[in-house]
């Protein structure tokens, strides 16, 4: 992955790049999933907090289109189920629902990092298996996850890495057992499939959080422990440090449409999330605040993924949108391209809801922990997400 000094935005997570810098070979804090575009109807809703929503005509109008999308049944919204706090001294079950980690070094560092945070670590039985790019067969990876769910000595479950393949195990999980034994479940990138599916099928609050082999720096640790271990209703807002300059130059926020709104948080990696469209594993988007990130995608692919969501009705009635880091998402070669800002304006501008870009969410070193399903308030002018209650009990 390129780390061109001329590129604006936070430094990419060093564990996000594979040997060739390509998305399909990204590991660790890092792999974004497949960019499948499956049709499906996501739920719609209205902006909360007393704010108006866009008119039906404005919502229906997409880039170059004016027709109302076909209405399809929305995914059911389940009562919110919160896991117990995951505190230092407790045990984390380490699983690999996606790609394998080929070398011992990153795995050992991940375990030592979690131990350094005060946690005990138990490895999944098949954590070190490999089948093609995956950490074992689909059945093995699903079995490891369910074993951690069933083990009373395990208090939380964390993905070792991202990669690809998490969506393959979704039909193999026992969601009723997961709901009966609610535990912390976290990760990001390809783990987007898992954390959204579990929330959709159980109502459990899950966590878009660092994977085990991410860089556990002070910023990431503070937000992880604040949300997961301490149950703080944190404000997720980029630090604005000017240093020697008259204005902050790093971690900048851009307000695309101002305002405030309330809704439940859903989202994650755009490519992976779009691959769940039309399945029973996508949460209800009814009045949701959608957060998105991606890495190593050409802009035309970002456009295609958003177009899929638009045509499926997913973007019709969101309460707000938070755009994280789209690391190394470039125009590509051979023909002209829109800018990312133009793409985002095309899809989110007509919605008439608060939208901001640049949140510390994605394949970057410093990252927020974002609870899937938790009520929050977006303030697009301030560039902040305020969690409205504790994500854990």
Does the annotation mark 208 as catalytic?
no
Q: Is the dihedral of CA 385, 11, 268, 139 positive or negative?
A: negative
Bridging pattern class, strands 156-159 and 91-95: parallel
Marked catalytic residue, from 99, 189, 220, 275: 189
Q: Contact at 8 Å (CB) between 226 and 14?
A: no
Side-chain-facing half-sphere of 286: CA atoms under 13 Å: 10
Rounded CA-CA distance 232/373 in Å is 16
Give the closest residue to 41 by CA, choosing from 11, 10, 71, 68. 71
Report the C-alpha gap between 221 and 224 in whole angstroms: 5
Phi, psi (deg, nearest 5) at residue 99: -80, 160
Choosing from 126, 208, 223, 363, the catalytic residue is 363
Catalytic residue of the set 293, 297, 307, 377: 293
Annotated catalytic, 98?
no
94: which residues sit within 8 A by CB, 6+ positions away?
A: 110, 111, 114, 121, 122, 123, 124, 127, 158, 160, 212
Helix (H, G, I), strand (E, B) or coil at 178: helix
155 in active site: no
Q: At what angle do helices 340-348 and 299-311 cross, to 10 degrees?
A: 10
Rounded to an integer, what distance in angstroms lies between the CA atom of residue 114 and that of residue 84? 18
Which residues have a catalytic role annotated? 189, 293, 363
């Amino acid at each position: 992955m390129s780390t061109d000094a001329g590129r604006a935005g936070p430094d990419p997570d060093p564990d996000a790049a594979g040997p060739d810098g390509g998305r399909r070979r990204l590991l660790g804090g890092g792999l974004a999933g497949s960019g499948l575009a499956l049709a499906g109807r996501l739920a719609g809703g209205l902006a909360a907090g007393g704010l108006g929503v866009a008119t039906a005509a404005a919502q229906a109008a997409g880039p170059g289109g004016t027709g109302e999308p076909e209405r399809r049944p929305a995914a059911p919204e389940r009562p919110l189920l919160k896991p117990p706090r995951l505190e230092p001294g407790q045990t984390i079950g380490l699983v690999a629902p996606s790609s394998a980690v080929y070398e011992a070094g990153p795995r050992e560092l991940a375990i030592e990092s979690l131990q350094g945070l005060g946690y005990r670590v138990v490895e999944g039985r098949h954590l070190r298996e490999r089948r093609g790019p995956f950490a074992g067969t689909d059945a093995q990876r699903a079995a490891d996850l369910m074993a951690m769910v069933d083990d009373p000595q395990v208090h939380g479950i964390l993905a070792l890495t991202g990669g690809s393949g998490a969506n393959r195990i979704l039909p193999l999980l026992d969601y009723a057992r997961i709901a009966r034994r609610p535990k912390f479940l976290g990760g990001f990138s390809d783990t987007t499939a898992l954390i959204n599916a579990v929330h959709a099928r159980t109502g459990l609050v899950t966590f878009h959080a660092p994977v085990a082999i991410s860089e556990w720096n002070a910023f990431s640790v503070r937000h992880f422990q604040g949300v997961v271990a301490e149950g703080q209703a944190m404000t997720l807002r980029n630090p604005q440090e000017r240093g020697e300059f008259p204005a902050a130059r790093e971690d900048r926020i851009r307000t695309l449409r101002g305002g405030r709104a309330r809704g439940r948080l859903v989202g994650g990696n755009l490519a992976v999330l779009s691959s769940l469209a039309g399945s029973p594993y996508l949460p209800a988007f009814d009045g949701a605040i959608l957060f998105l990130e991606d890495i190593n995608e050409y802009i035309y692919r970002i456009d295609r993924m958003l177009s899929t969501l638009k045509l499926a009705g997913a973007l019709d009635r969101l309460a707000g949108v938070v755009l994280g880091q789209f690391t190394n998402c470039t125009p590509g070669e051979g023909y002209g391209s829109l800018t990312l800002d133009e793409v985002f304006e095309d899809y989110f501008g007509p919605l008439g809801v608060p939208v901001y870009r640049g949140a510390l969410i994605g394949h970057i070193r410093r990252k927020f922990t974002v609870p899937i399903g938790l009520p929050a308030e977006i303030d697009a002018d301030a560039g902040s997400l305020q969690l409205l209650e504790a994500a854990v009990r």
